[in-house]
Amino acid sequence: MKRINLKSHRNLIFVAAAIVVYAFIAYGMNSNLLPRATQTLAIKACYNVILALSLSLIVGFLGELSLGHAGFFALGAYSGCIFSINSNLPIELRFVLAALIGGTVAAIGGFLISSSILRLQGDYLAIVTLAFGEIIRSFIKIIPVTGGTAGLGGIPSLGSKLKTFTFSYVFVILTILVIRNIVASSHGRAITSIRDNAIAAESIGINIKLYKIKVFTVGAFFAGIAGVILGHYINFIEPANFNYNVSIEILVMVVLGGMGNLLGSIIAAVVITFLPEILRGFDQYRLLIYALALIFMMLASNSPRIINFRVKAREKAAGLYKKLFTRKEE
Amino acid sequence: MTQVELLEVNNIGISFGGLRAVDNVSLTIKNGQLYGLIGPNGSGKTTLFNMITGVYKPTSGTFYFNGENLTGKSPVEINKKGIARTFQNIRLFKNMSVIDNVKVGLHNKHKYTMFESILRLPRFFHEEQKMEEEALELLGVFDLDKEKDSLACNLPYGKQRKLEIARALATGPKLLLLDEPAAGMNPNETEELMETIRFIRDNFNMTILLIEHDMKLVSGICEEISVLNFGTLLASGKTSEVLNNPEVIAAYLGE
């Protein structure tokens, strides 16, 4: 019997899925077969996935509830877009540089904020991050270079929707790769160990403070990139784009996807992007549905019966997989 | 066996507000020793452990490990110097697999940067390979290698205790602190645990300090013991002598 390497198979599936999804949407956009609203939402889904993944690292893996993710999102959006407006480089290069600048500025913000909240945990940390998010937004309102409450206009566009989508999609793939590679490494294990039991993690030499800073910095970096994508896609940003409801919405994606589950976060981010469109008739009940979904997820992820069911289902799937992909050696 | 002092605790004490939890305790543990710490509930045994591992900062006194003053250092620094511990109420990384629990313990031994892991550079694969091998070897010692992929929270109680010891050993300590390793075990499991502890001492060249209420285990494997009572040292010395000390009998063992 020859065993197939499951891990390399998973990589292949990922690459194949990434190409298929891209081909499908690109074709739909090019031929205008996809409805206009869906085309717009596809781009929105890109930055939502990046936001969800970056927050997933903080909430799902490190286990700290951060309610200020919109703050990092805003830092990246404003710094990247201000660069983009004032630059004369070719638009593609400008966009990539803006993404890097936005990410870096947001990462610096993440570094500073996380360094100042090292002693806090749980609810206290959640409240302080919420406050930091609002402080960032208030600052943007008062400093002149951001356009204040009137907003920042004239952000250049990449051109066609397809082009915007393509560039955003590349950043989505990069985000997935980077975050997955962090999670599936010794560093990821250290981060997860802090979530599971901080005291035990310290007792075996895991530097909790250092990892808190690292995780917040990386998370903020990607939130910043998401901000730059948002700016170049709607061409106009204002502080209201980054209020705390946005933080909550990102959190909903992470929780709905299952804490500490990257694929789940991606799916949840896409679903939540498209949900308002699908449920357009029930617009008033959107928040109600979110709340119900969250309560359901909480019950589902803690109920022993459902957990048992999941474990069994997974075992069955693994058995089936082995049967299908294991060949007898001649 | 070289009889060098590995851990030297001098007049250590700690107060929580008005409560003097541990007062003026001194003890010396030599290299390769199996040392027991006993005493009634609330006598300060675990508090003493917490001071030696840096969870609490002593308010008076000092302790030296390997000739180095580690008083008031952080748990991370103390672990890196070579002290590892287990906990009275098991503290595993419950939602991680058994092998990952041990691999976290190897985190500081096989290092690569986050950057190297993001780009999956050769060092990453090299160090991961070493980690996998060493973790499997450790799990094999504790007979846990068959369960390596199950979640730590799904292990039976006795195996969880073993996994906690394996995780502590993964950090490559010189001194291992075991906080009530036999708690909740039946006589057979305790018997097995005694074997395991001896095995660790002999095969890993370990010095072990353990807290235990099970007198059979203590008198069976500890060469020297100390008795704490109300935060102060009641007696210490050879196990058989201390256990026959009338004061110890009155305070802890009962007539």
Q: Where are the domains of chain B?
A: 1-82+173-255, 92-172
User: B54: which strand partners?
Assistant: none
CB crowding B7-19: b at 16 or more within 10 Å, else e = bbbbebbbeeeee
Sheet containing strand B60-65, strands side by side: B19-30, B5-16, B60-65, B68-69
| Separation CA A62–CA A55 (nearest Å) | 10
> What gap in Å lies between CA A109 and CA A106, rounded to an integer?
5
Predicted pLDDT of residue A329: 45
**Nearest residue to A162 via CA among A251, A283, A30:** A30
Pairing of strands B5-16, B60-65: antiparallel
Superfamily for domain range B1-82+173-255? P-loop containing nucleotide triphosphate hydrolases (3.40.50.300)
Residue A31's pLDDT is: 87
Over its C-alpha atoms, chain B yields an Rg (Å, rounded) of: 19
End-to-end CA distance of chain B: 37
Taking CA–CA distances from B90, the nearest residue in chain A reads: A200
Consecutive H or E run containing A89: none
User: pLDDT tens-digit profile of B53-105?
Assistant: 999 999 999 999 998 999 989 999 999 999 999 999 999 999 999 999 999 99
Residues A179, A47 contacting (CB under 8 angstroms): no
Overall residue count recorded for chain B in this entry: 255
Beta strands in B66-114 (DSSP E): 68-69, 83-85
Among B114, B115, B124, the residue to mutate for chain A (most A Cβ within 10 A): B114
> What is the b/e burial string over A190-228, where b = at least 16 CB atoms within 10 angstroms of the residue's CB?
bbbbbbbbeebbbbbbbbbeebbbbbbbbbbbbbbbbbb
Helix (H) or strand (E) holding B7: strand B5-16
Question: What angle, rounded to 10 degrees, do the helices at A161-183 and A6-30 form?
Answer: 170
Which residues, including other chains, have CB under 8 Å from residue A218's CB and lie 6 or more apart?
Answer: A54, A57, A107, A110, A178, A179, A182, B114
Q: In chain B, whose CA is at the least distance from the CA of A195?
A: B93
Q: Which pLDDT value is given to residue A3?
A: 44
Which of A129-143, A208-222, A253-267 shows the lowest mean pLDDT across its residues? A253-267
Q: Report which of B158, B164, B148, B152 is spatially closest to residue A192, judged by C-alpha positions.
A: B152
Residue of A247, A245, A225 lying closest to A79 (CA atoms): A225
Residue type, B94: K
**What's the DSSP call for residue B230?**
T
Residue A189 to residue B96, Cβ atoms within 8 A: yes
The predicted structure's pLDDT at residue B17: 87
- B176 three-class SS: strand
Across the interface, do B120 and A203 touch by the CB < 8 Å criterion?
no
Which residues in B have their CB inside 8 Å of a CB on A? Answer: 53, 55, 74-76, 79-80, 84-85, 87, 91-96, 100-101, 103-108, 110-112, 114, 117-120, 124, 127-128, 131, 167-168, 170-171
- Mean of pLDDT over chain B: 91
Q: What ipTM was predicted for this assembly?
A: 0.90
Domain residue spans of chain A = 35-243
Q: Copy the structure tokens of residue B143.
A: 């007979």
Indicate the range of A174-178, A299-303, B113-117, B192-196 predicted with least confidence: A299-303
